[in-house]
Every structure is written in structure tokens, then in C-alpha cells.
Amino acid sequence: MSSTPVASQLNPTICRRMLIAYLIEHISRPNNPALEEATGWPRRTVQDIIAKGLPGHGTIVEFIQEGVRHNDGYYLLRDWGSFDRDWVKVNLPTICKVLDVKLDLSGAVS
């Protein structure tokens, strides 16, 4: 049996959470607009995943405040929680297929 999951075996809700965690770690200055642009998802979806979805898996995301306005800044992933960073990276194409997301990581960091 292959260790690569078939897209139909993955839960889209969990895939959304894993993708946001991955993007927070891999794009430069991952704020709401950057995450919305990367995924094509509405602002509220991105916010809900960060505020409610990720903490349910022990994932720790911190907002780093910059500037004077309350929303100037970016997210920093402190802990992947129950998600396996390496598994997500290896299976990113399948996760994106499940979510019908085409990533452009031109602003990505390694």
C-alpha cells in the first residue's frame, strides 16, 4: 500500500487547517491578505481557521504586531501541534487537490 494518500481519503476541513499552517510558515509576512491571496478564500474563512481551527490541534500561532494600527503585522507559527510538518510538506500537492487550491509560492521562504 502506498504511503501517499488518495485525495478522497483526506478530510477537507483538516486539509484547510494544514494548508494555513504550512502557508504561515512558508510565505513571507503571512498576514490575512497574503493568506487570502494564496488560497483564494474569504477573509472570514482564513480568520476562523487561525482563531478556532488550528488551536484545536494544539497548533500555536502568534500575531506579531508591527506598526500603529491594530492589524499591522503577520502570523508566526510557534508549534505545529498534532500536525506533522514533514507529512504536510510531502503531501502538499494532494492537500491542494482536495481543496482545489493552486499555490503560487513565489513569495515563499524556505
Cell of 103: 499555490
Q: What pTM does this model have?
A: 0.88
pLDDT per position as a tens digit, 5-38:
777 889 999 999 999 999 999 999 999 999 999 9
The answer for residues whose C-beta is within 8 angstroms of residue 81's C-beta and 6 or more apart is: 54, 57, 58, 59, 60
Residue ranges of E strands in the chain: 60-65, 73-79
pLDDT over 90 for what percent of the chain? 77
pLDDT value for 103 = 85
Domains and CATH numbers, the chain: 14-99 (1.10.10.10)
pLDDT value for 109 = 46
Calculate the average pLDDT of the chain.
90
Separation CA 100–CA 106 (nearest Å) = 19
